[in-house]
Structure 1
Amino acid sequence: MIGRLTSAADFQRALQTRQLSRSPHFAAHHLRQRPGAPAQLSTAPAEPTGAPVDDPVCGWWLGLVVPKRHARRAVTRTLIKRQMREALRRHQQHLPPGQWVLRLRAPIDPKQFPSAASDALRVAVRTELDKLLGRITP
Structure 2
Amino acid sequence: MQRLKTRPQFQAVLAGTVLSRTPHFALHCLALPQVTPDMAANAPLFPSHGVWMGAMVPKRWAKRAVTRNTIKRQIYAVSQGVEPPLQAAAHVVRLRAGFDKTRFISATSAVLKAAVRAELQQLFSGVRVRTVQGVA
TM-score by length of 1: 0.82
Separation in structure 2 between the aligned mates of residue 93 and residue 38 of structure 1, nearest angstrom: 28
1:55 lines up with 2:54 in the alignment: no
Residue 6 of structure 2 is matched in structure 1 by 7
For 1:33 and 1:12, locate their aligned partners in 2 and report how far apart those are by CA, in whole Å: 14
Which of 58, 61, 68 is the equivalent residue of 1:77?
Answer: 68
Consecutive unaligned residues of structure 2, counting only runs of 5 or more, are: 132-136
CA distance in 2, matches of 1:112, 1:22: 22
**Higher relative helix content:** 2
Q: Hey, what's the Cα distance between the residues in 2 that align with 1:90 and 1:127?
A: 13
* Percent of pairs with identical residues: 40
Of the two, which has the highest radius of gyration? 1
Q: After TM superposition, where is structure 1 displaced by more than 6 Å over at least 4 residues in a row?
A: none
Q: Residue type matched to 2:47 in 1?
A: D
Distance 1:128 1:43, change over 3 A: same
User: 1:43 and 1:32 mapped to 2: Cα distance?
Assistant: 19
Amino acid at match of 2:87: P
What corresponds to 1:65 in structure 2? 56
TM-score (norm 2): 0.83
Q: Which amino acid aligns with 1:15?
A: L
**Contact 2:13-2:91 within 8 A present in 1 as well:** yes
- Look up the match of 1:118: 109
Gaps of 5+ in 1: 45-51
